[in-house]
């Protein structure tokens, strides 16, 4: 059983079940950078970005989405790692992240049905349930239900990408089973309507995740880190609930998992973008901590929580017990580190707050897209050796991002055709 009694100090090392040690309890959580080169490989700007974050004091760096399948990406400009990709750029990426003593883990993912039609007209999912987004569903590809062969292929793809990440020098991988992507789709009864061994009861809906964990463990060394990112809930009627998350963690207790990260939401209900302004400041800043405490009580591995943390005091609160309930083992910081990449070092010197712009646009969808665009702008600036620009003009960033996506979608489709032809 993991000893949660040592979780009270932010800068203590974290010892994982597999033997890996992380220097402190702060993780740079995953953010989708969309900064791959034209061959969907990490380029110099992405390496510079992770070198900057590694120098900023985080004990663990989690990369943004790395796709396990070349024909299934969450958006243009995403990194792809499979047997068809050269390993040398990934070796340089790992070296950049580790240059200042941080551990670097690769987040590995398959989007399932959350694929934009402009990116790829083909998508797979547990069931043929499309993304439902008022007025915008047409922008997403209509998925087809996966066959047994598709499921076997996906298990193999996750295992292959994990093995390649280890060969490239990464310290571990995190399986993305949250935010409405493929594995999250299997977990949710709202999107998994199957009546075979992969659907129905939660044990069946979780089967794909468990099989992927086992397939990865069969391919990598015992000390290679293995984490799972899991929704606390997907915040949709008839979907994945908090009780389901606890039950999945109980299943993961029997597997060789080093870390479980708790988040929440999906494209249809983007809870990971924050609580409404009317919520208390603490609730807005650390909006999944209460869910995470329930999971910590059941988990036999360390639990990490991600979601809006910007202040050292809030991070310390998340690590500490409260009203007889245990704290988490690690906190994940995402957008705040795009604006203040050395926030952990500033926290060591005392309290420091990362000021992250909040858009109060009437259209929540466009506000969310533009908020992500502003964050990606900061990451591109850091990768270019520049300072963040928190006062960037939001409408201009939105227009620029839409044009960039249009151009990169065309590049991706051409690259994929070449890959298939080759």
Q: Are the C-beta atoms of 180 and 268 separated by less than 8 Å?
A: yes
pLDDT over 90 (residue 136):
no
Helix (H, G, I), strand (E, B) or coil at 283: helix
Q: Taking Cα atoms as reference points, which of 271, 269, 266, 273 lies closest to residue 114? A: 266
Q: pTM value?
A: 0.93
Q: What is the pLDDT of residues 39-66, one digit of tens each?
A: 999 999 999 999 999 999 999 999 999 9
Residue 410 belongs to domain with CATH number: 3.20.20.70
What is the band of 16 on the pLDDT scale with cuts at 50, 70, 90? very high
Quickly tell me which residue has 């309890």 as its tokens: 25
Q: What is the pLDDT of residues 317-332, one digit of tens each?
A: 999 998 888 999 999 9
pLDDT above 90 as % of the chain = 77
Tally of domains in the chain: 1
What is the band of 358 on the pLDDT scale with cuts at 50, 70, 90? confident
Helix (H, G, I), strand (E, B) or coil at 63: coil
pLDDT over 80 (residue 412):
yes
CA distances from 122 to 71, 141, 178, 188, 413 (A): 8, 6, 21, 21, 12
Q: Which domain holds residue 227?
A: 4-421
Predicted pLDDT at 360? 85
Q: What is the pLDDT of residues 272-293, one digit of tens each?
A: 444 433 444 444 456 688 889 9
Q: Are the C-beta atoms of 216 and 268 separated by less than 8 Å?
A: no
DSSP state of 69: B
In whole angstroms, what separates CA 14 from the centre of its chain?
A: 20
Quickly tell me which residue has 């969450």 as its tokens: 74
């Amino acid at each position: 059983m993991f000893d949660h009694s040592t979780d009270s100090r932010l800068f203590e090392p974290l010892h994982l079940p597999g033997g890996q040690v992380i220097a402190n309890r702060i993780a740079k959580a995953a953010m989708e950078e969309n900064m791959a080169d034209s061959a969907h490989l990490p380029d110099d700007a992405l390496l510079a970005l992770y070198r900057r974050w590694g120098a900023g004091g985080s004990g663990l760096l989690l990369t943004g989405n790395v796709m396990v399948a070349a024909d299934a990406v969450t958006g243009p400009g995403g990194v792809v790692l499979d047997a068809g990709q050269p390993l040398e750029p990934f070796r340089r990426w790992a070296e950049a992240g580790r240059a200042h003593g941080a551990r670097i883990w690769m987040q590995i993912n398959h989007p399932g049905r959350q694929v934009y039609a402009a990116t790829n007209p083909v998508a797979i999912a547990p069931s043929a349930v499309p993304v439902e987004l008022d007025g915008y569903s047409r922008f997403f590809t209509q998925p087809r239900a996966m066959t047994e062969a598709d499921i076997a292929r996906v298990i193999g793809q996750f295992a292959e990408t994990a093995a390649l990440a280890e060969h490239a020098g990464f310290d571990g991988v995190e399986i993305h089973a949250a935010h409405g992507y493929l594995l999250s789709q299997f977990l949710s009864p709202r999107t998994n309507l199957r009546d075979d061994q992969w659907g129905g009861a939660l044990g069946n809906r979780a089967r794909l995740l468990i099989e992927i964990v086992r397939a990865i463990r069969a391919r990598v060394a015992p000390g290679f880190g293995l984490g799972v990112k899991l929704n606390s809930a997907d915040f949709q009627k008839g979907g994945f609930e908090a009780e389901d998350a606890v039950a999945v963690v109980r299943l993961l207790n029997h597997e060789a998992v080093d870390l479980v990260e708790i988040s929440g939401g999906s494209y249809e209900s983007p809870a990971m973008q924050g609580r409404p302004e009317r919520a208390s400041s603490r609730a807005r800043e650390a909006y999944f901590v209460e869910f995470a405490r329930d999971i910590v009580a059941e988990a036999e591995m360390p639990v990490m929580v991600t979601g809006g943390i910007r202040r050292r005091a809030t991070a310390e609160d998340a690590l500490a017990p409260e009203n007889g309930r245990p704290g988490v083992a690690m906190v994940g910081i995402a957008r705040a580190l795009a604006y203040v990449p050395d926030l952990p070092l500033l926290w060591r010197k005392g309290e420091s707050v990362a000021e992250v712009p909040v858009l109060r646009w009437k259209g929540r969808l466009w506000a969310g897209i533009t908020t992500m665009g502003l964050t990606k702008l900061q990451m591109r600036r850091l990768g270019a050796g520049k300072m963040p620009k928190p006062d960037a003009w939001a409408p201009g960033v939105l227009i620029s991002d839409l044009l960039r996506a249009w151009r990169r979608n065309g590049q991706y489709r051409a690259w994929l055709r070449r890959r298939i032809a080759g």
